[in-house]
């Protein structure tokens, strides 16, 4: 998932995006919402520039332009499940907006009618000295006021209902966002969250060569297939959850812990020396190796679980792929070196 604003920020973006969206010629659908959300949250500079270019001198975006901007600057980064979730939530948003717009229009008509009546009544009062006319007009005024009060009460309750729906939608957006970044089995960050953090880490890394750059620790459970084959997939899952918990404990607040593949894990340290990353990897390796995992209620320990690790540090200017591949090479050096060990690969030596 590419969006990680908290509720307050995303509500601000929603408020900023809605008026912009409704000003365009394109319909209010998930695609236009994605374009305007990314525009107002400034997370996608190329998209923002393209939008500004298209909307220079008061021009508005039509359907085809909106889709083209989406395809060129957003589309490929969204998975189909994101798109489906986004479609569902945006439909909800459009429904709420439609209801609010209809209620506001109705209340507006009601107020205009009342205003007309008021003018008539004032004219009648001023032009007729008759007591009876005065009484009739006052009665009509009373009835008219009751009606407008009733219409306002309906509008207020519809607005309260819309507020409630928006708040539910906001919660759903938040939940969807968090689910899209979390590995369902282990609760760790998933590969997508990891990739996002990795590129954020690389772009936020200080330019000075003497400051520490991000380090990456990759770990892969040894002979995991054998664990699955011997004790079943359910037990394999349990092992994955326990190793993930160990990762979380070891990483604490020093590193992002993620499950990046079936039985493959990663620790991303935003700023650390290679030595510190190696120490963390060693701590993780030894903690996993020292643990014993019990199968259900059977009071019998299985063979210990071990994990092989690869460690490296980002070299300024290199791509995320090259950084990740070096950590992977270090990991496979550990596998070929007998497993249950840590291999460190420096960028210059790779
Ligand atoms: N239980 C369970 N197994 C999984 C999951 N994802 C992948 N696997 C299994 O993980 C196993 C990985 O096996 P291999 O890639 O052969 O690796 P390995 O047996 O750990 O061997 P080495 O890595 O060489 O030590 C496969 O049997 C996959 O089916 C999962 O979510 N749950």
- CATH of residue 319: 3.30.70.270
Q: Could you tell me which residues come within 8 angstroms of residue 227 by beta carbon, excluding any fewer than 6 positions away?
A: 221, 235, 236, 239, 302, 305
Residues 130 and 121: beta-carbon distance below 8 Å? no
Query: What pLDDT is stored for residue 137 in this prediction?
Result: 83
- Would you state the pLDDT for residue 332? 96
CA distance 236 to 240: 6
How far apart CA 211 and CA 202 sit, in angstroms, is: 13
Give me the helix-helix angle, 7-23 and 131-180, nearest 10°: 120
Rounded to whole angstroms, the Cα distance separating 314 from 104 reads: 56
Full residue range of the structural domain in which residue 150 is found: 81-180
ipTM of predicted assembly, 2 dp = 0.97
Look at ligand 1, atom 23, and give the residue with the nearest C-alpha.
222
Q: What is the pLDDT of residue 260?
A: 94
Cα separations (Å) of 162 from 12, 119, 259? 17, 33, 39
Which element (helix H / strand E) includes 146?
A: helix 131-180
Residue 219 beta carbon below 6 angstroms from any ligand 1 atom: no
Residues contacting 115, CB < 8 A, separation 6+: none
Please indicate whether residue 263 is annotated as part of the active site: yes
Distance (Å) from CA 203 to ligand 1 centroid: 33
> Could you list the mean pLDDT of each consecutive 10-residue stretch along the chain, which spans 350 residues?
72 84 85 89 86 88 88 69 68 76 76 84 83 84 83 80 78 78 92 90 75 91 93 90 94 91 94 93 95 69 84 92 95 96 85
Residue ending a domain, among 78, 108, 137, is 78
pLDDT at residue 192, as a whole number: 87
Same domain, 289 and 340: yes
Total domains in the fold of the chain: 3
In the prediction, which pLDDT does 301 show?
58
pLDDT of residue 15: 82
Choosing from 191, 222, 225, 328 the residue with most ligand 1 atoms within 8 A of its CB, the one to mutate for a pocket test is: 225
Q: Which of 180, 206, 228 is the last residue of a domain?
A: 180
Asked whether 222 lines ligand 1 (CB < 6 A), one says yes
**CA–CA distance, 102 with 159 (Å, rounded to integer):** 11
Indicate if ligand 1 lies below 6 Å from the C-beta of 332.
no
Q: How many CB atoms lie within 10 A of CB 54?
A: 16
Which residue, of 78, 101, 127, is where some domain finishes?
A: 78
* Predicted TM-score (pTM) of this structure: 0.62
Q: What DSSP line would sit under 222-267, residue for residue?
A: TTHHHHHHHH-HHHHHHHHHHHHHHHHHHHTTTSEEEE-SSSEEEE
Same domain, residue pair 15 and 114: no
Summarised one tens digit per residue, pLDDT across range 167-224 is 787 787 778 777 788 999 999 999 989 998 998 888 887 766 667 889 999 999 999 9
Buried b (16+ CB within 10 A) or exposed e, 241-277: bbbbebbeebbeeebbbbbbeebbbbbbbbebebebb
**What does the block give as tokens for 280?**
């963390």
Q: How far apart are the first and last CA of the chain?
A: 32
- Active-site position among 91, 110, 165, 263: 263
pLDDT of residue 340: 97
Q: How far apart are the C-alpha atoms of 40 and 203, rounded to whole Å? A: 21
Any long-range contacts for 114-123 (C-beta under 8 Å, 24+ apart)?
A: 114/144, 114/147, 114/148, 117/144, 118/144
Q: Does any ligand 1 atom lie closer than 6 A to the CB of residue 183?
A: no
258/223 same-domain check: yes
Same domain, 32 and 157: no
Q: Are residues 233 and 314 in the same domain?
A: yes
Distance (Å) from CA 230 to ligand 1 centroid:
12
């Amino acid at each position: 998932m590419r969006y990680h604003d908290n509720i307050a920020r995303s509500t601000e973006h929603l408020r900023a995006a809605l008026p912009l969206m409704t000003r365009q010629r394109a319909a209010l659908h998930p695609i236009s919402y994605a374009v305007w959300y990314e525009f107002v949250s400034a997370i996608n500079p190329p998209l923002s520039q393209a939008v500004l270019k298209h909307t220079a001198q008061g021009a508005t975006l039509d359907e085809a332009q909106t889709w083209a901007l989406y395809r060129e600057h957003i589309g490929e980064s969204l998975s189909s499940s994101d798109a489906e979730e986004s479609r569902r939530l945006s439909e909800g948003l459009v429904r709420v907006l439609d209801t609010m717009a209809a209620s506001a229009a109705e209340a507006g008509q009601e107020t205009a009618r009342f205003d007309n009546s008021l003018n008539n009544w004032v004219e009648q009062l001023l032009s007729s000295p008759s007591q009876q006319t005065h009484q009739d007009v006052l009665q009509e005024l009373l009835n008219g006021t009751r009606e407008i009060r009733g219409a306002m009460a309906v509008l207020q309750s519809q607005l309260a209902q819309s507020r409630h729906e928006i708040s539910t939608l906001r919660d759903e957006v938040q939940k969807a966002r968090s689910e899209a970044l979390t590995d369902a089995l282990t609760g760790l960050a998933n590969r997508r969250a990891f990739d996002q953090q990795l590129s954020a880490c690389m772009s936020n890394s200080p330019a000075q060569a003497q400051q520490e750059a991000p380090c990456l620790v990759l770990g892969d459970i040894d002979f995991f297939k054998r664990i699955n084959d011997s004790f079943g997939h359910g037990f394999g899952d349990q092992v994955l959850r326990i190793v993930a918990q160990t990762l979380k404990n070891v990483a604490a607040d020093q590193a992002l812990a993620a499950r990046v593949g079936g039985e493959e894990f990663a620790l991303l340290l935003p700023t650390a020396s290679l030595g510190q990353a190696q120490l963390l990897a060693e701590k993780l390796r030894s903690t996993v190796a020292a643990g014993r995992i019990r199968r259900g209620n059977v009071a019998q320990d299985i063979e210990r679980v071990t994990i092989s690790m690869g460690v490296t540090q980002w070299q300024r200017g290199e791509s995320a792929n090259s950084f990740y591949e070096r950590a992977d090479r270090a990991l496979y050096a550990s596998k070929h070196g007998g497993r249950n060990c840590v291999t460190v690969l420096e960028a210059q030596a790779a």
